[in-house]
């Protein structure tokens, strides 16, 4: 099976290597020339996934056309804010036999579309049923180290989901199938916003009680938005939902938690972003989620206050106080 992976960040590299170690021929597109050179010279992505020896079946390239052409599986691991600008260059390559998988976790700022929503705008209608999503609690570094991991593959067609499942399954990477493409993506995007909130809480030195409250009320916010947009309620209690949320809100490997943690310690957002080349998807996704919730009239107080901290310079302690003194209500109020 010929596979192309577009995006050589930590997650794209980890998944490309997983597939290559299974014996597949995998071409990996890297934007950065130094990433490509390092993999060729030392079999290591020193910039984004240091310390991991990469399979010889993984072939890096800076040539997007070479990576995308003639592939049976095309995996897109592109940051959401550049997803469209990269994907638009790929639309002529997939055939009706190509499975197109997104592992990007974000919502486009301008359109408020998920990544498969963007692809549906760009691709011919006959290819829409070939789209799939892989999401769930999975840090790239741990997957690369073969730490036992379970995730979800969602697709509208069961046979497409099963094809993804079969391609990725290993003794250390267990993959379940789902039909809920929209739900899996919303969970994957919103959990990054909530991870920033959890990181802020931890950075302020607040306790485990606070973090648990943020996670629990956070899944409620995800559910409110997801159900409005047609997601399956069961998704929120699964791997792509509460599973990924717990991991990202509690794991120090989380880039979004790290951003929040530093904000809670008093650092400025610009300074935090300037110190790393990796992307914390939640920073940009927060703006999308806030604008969506306002447009749809959906109450999402945690996401709203993360937005105000990131984009309106609200002091984190003031945000916490505002959350705690909101009107008292029934716990399972759906509004």
Active site residues: 191
What is the dihedral sign for C-alpha 283, 285, 287, 289? negative
Task: Report d(CA 297, CA 225) in Å as an integer.
Answer: 10
Helix-helix angle 281-296:255-264, to 10 degrees: 80
* Mode of pairing for the β-strands spanning 149-155 and 173-178: parallel
Distance CA 189, CA 211 (A): 19
Strand order in the sheet with 2-6: 58-61, 25-29, 2-6, 73-76, 99-102, 131-135, 149-155, 173-178
Do the bridges between strand 149-155 and strand 131-135 make them parallel or antiparallel, or are there none, so unpaired? antiparallel
Write the DSSP string, 12-57.
HHHHHHHHHHTT-EEEEE-SSHHHHHHHHHHS-BTTTBTT-PPPTT
The first and second tokens of residue 144, run together, are 């690369």
Alpha-carbon Rg for the chain in angstroms: 19
Helices (H) and strands (E) in the chain, counts: 15, 8
**Cα(250)–Cα(197) distance, rounded to whole angstroms?**
11
């Amino acid at each position: 099976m010929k596979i192309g992976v577009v995006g050589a960040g930590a997650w794209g590299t980890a998944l490309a290597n997983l597939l290559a170690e299974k014996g597949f021929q995998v071409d990996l597109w890297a934007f950065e020339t130094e990433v490509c050179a390092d993999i060729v010279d030392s079999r290591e992505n020193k910039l984004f996934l240091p310390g991991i020896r990469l399979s010889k079946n993984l072939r890096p390239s800076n040539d997007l056309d070479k990576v995308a052409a003639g592939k049976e599986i095309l995996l897109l691991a592109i940051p959401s804010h550049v997803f469209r600008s990269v994907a638009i260059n790929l639309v002529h390559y997939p055939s009706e036999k190509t499975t197109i998988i997104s592992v990007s976790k974000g919502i486009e700022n301008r359109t408020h579309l998920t990544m498969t929503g963007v692809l549906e705008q760009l691709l011919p209608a006959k290819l829409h049923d070939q789209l799939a999503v892989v999401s769930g609690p999975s840090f790239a570094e741990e997957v690369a180290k073969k730490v036992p991991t379970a995730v979800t593959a969602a697709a509208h067609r069961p046979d497409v989901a099963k094809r993804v499942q079969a391609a990725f399954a290993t003794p250390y990477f267990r993959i379940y199938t789902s039909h809920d493409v929209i739900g899996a993506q919303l969970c994957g995007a919103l959990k990054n916003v909530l991870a920033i909130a959890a990181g802020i809480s931890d950075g302020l030195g607040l306790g485990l009680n606070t973090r648990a409250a943020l996670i629990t009320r956070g899944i409620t916010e995800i559910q409110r938005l997801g159900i409005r947009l047609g997601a399956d309620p069961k998704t929120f209690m699964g791997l792509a939902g509460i599973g990924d949320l717990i991991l990202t809100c509690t794991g120090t490997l989380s880039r979004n938690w790290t951003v929040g943690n530093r904000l809670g310690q008093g650092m400025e957002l610009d300074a935090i972003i300037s110190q790393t080349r990796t992307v914390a998807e939640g920073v940009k996704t927060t703006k999308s989620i806030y604008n969506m919730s306002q447009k749809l009239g959906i109450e999402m107080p945690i996401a709203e206050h993360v937005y105000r901290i990131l984009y309106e310079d609200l002091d984190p302690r003031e945000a916490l106080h505002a959350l705690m003194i909101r009107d008292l209500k029934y716990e399972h109020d759906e509004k």
